[in-house]
Amino acid sequence: MKLFNTLTRKKEEFVPITPGEIKMYVCGPTVYNLIHIGNARPMIVFDTFRRYMEFCGYKVNYVSNFTDVDDKIIKAAIAEGVESSVISERYIAECKKDMEALNVLPATTHPKATEEIPGMLDMIRTLIDKGHAYAAKDGTVYFRVRSFQDYGKLSHKNLDDLEAGHRDIKVTGDGKEDEFDFVLWKPKKEGEPFWESPWCEGRPGWHIECSVMSKKYLGEEIDIHAGGEDLIFPHHENEIAQSEAANGKPFARYWLHNGFLNIENKKMSKSLGNFFTVRDISEKYDLQVLRFFMLSAHYRSPLNFSADLMEAAKSGFDRIRTSVANLTYLSQKNSEKSLTDEEKAQIEKTEGYVRKFCDAMDDDLNTADAVSAIFELVKFANTTADENSSCAYGKALKEKIVSLCDTLGLITDQEEELLDADIEALIEERQAARKTKDFARADEIRNELLNKGIILEDTREGVKWKRA
């Protein structure tokens, strides 16, 4: 398998540190609100990578954090008059609901920044002892950027160029030796959460959090570090500087970054009115359609989101689901006779589509071509399986399609369709739960219906529903 390594700017053969095992860290969301569809892209992309590597027989230790202390979380907490932890825990729970609806597997470990403060203090002490960090008079601890000779190797920037043309990345502060030095620990402000440290009562900088969580749960050197391309600089660049300066060894062998998601060819922004949460999309589409849409493009390419493109994705995904449903019907209704010699030969031909799928995935996770291979297999199944086929043939073709879709995290083998009466009964139960303020059960019912392709819409006239 070859992966495009941001560090070297080229495709490289993937060779894990330990044969048969992968240690992978993916930067997770800052939990101050519901996740938006931009957050969903790396979740889907790197969950798919993990699934494929497990399909190939690797044991994957997959760590993805929650940033649960941050200026935005604190601002939201102050606005509501609650502790910061109330906001972060609320939106961690909501994030997990959305991840489940997107069929994103839980990470091996989901560390929270606030639970890893001791490790952060230890790494900061090490950096100070090695001369890579220093404390200012007010208790702020800064990383001494010029002490790390390889600074800029991931983003392919150097400090001279940054000084000349990118003054916006410089961070001012009292007691800083150099304007490029970044914060490892900062003093508390009035009303903010804080922890004791040798330097001041305060909280960690953003960058140190991921370095410490990666080290604790994966070790000092990992196979893969991944995230959105907006994190390359300064976040991932600073992670490398901290980790390698503290540990004295390479941090990550391969760096993977997904491209931006635009809305109607514009950057997603609340001010432009084109900001969509995953929950917003779930009101119009089965979230499996959103996953399929995101996998229909190469992960490193910019992706444009629009209503027309989502409708096209829905149509494409429906073709696959319809084929699987038809093969289910044929495998249940057709004769019980065993495979004929001709059918055995046809099944052997399907291995060509499986090879195409794997070749695409082995080429830097080219999910777009992998989806094309699935469509070719679907077309083959639609043209070779009919009422005269054996049930074993329909079952074998279905298993091939479902297996490849499962590897992409796409749920194609739907349970038997709910009857209208069953849907209405669940809606009544949901309404009753809402009246008694059992919102957890109400959300559970909504998600259960959504996973079965039933979309609810709360209106003034009552609850309306439709099949996705």
Q: How far apart are the first and last CA of the chain?
A: 36
| Locus of tokens 């390889």 | 150
Low-confidence ranges of the chain (pLDDT < 50): 167-168
Q: Both tokens of residue 397? A: 């073709």
pLDDT of residue 419: 62
Going by their DSSP bridges, the two strands 222-228 and 202-204 should be labelled as: unpaired
Question: Cis before residue 234, ω within 30 degrees of 0?
Answer: yes
Residues 169 and 152: beta-carbon distance below 8 Å: no
Give me the sheet containing 261-263, strands edge to edge.
266-267, 261-263, 303-305
3-state secondary structure of 59: strand
pLDDT of residue 172: 56
Residues 55 and 256: beta-carbon distance below 8 Å: no
pLDDT, tens digit, for every residue of 123-168?
999 999 999 999 999 999 999 999 999 999 999 998 887 775 554 4
pTM tops 0.75, yes or no = yes
pLDDT of residue 171: 55
Residue 62, H or E segment: strand 59-64
Q: How many CB atoms lie within 10 A of CB 202?
A: 22
pLDDT of residue 353: 98
Residues 183 and 171: beta-carbon distance below 8 Å: yes
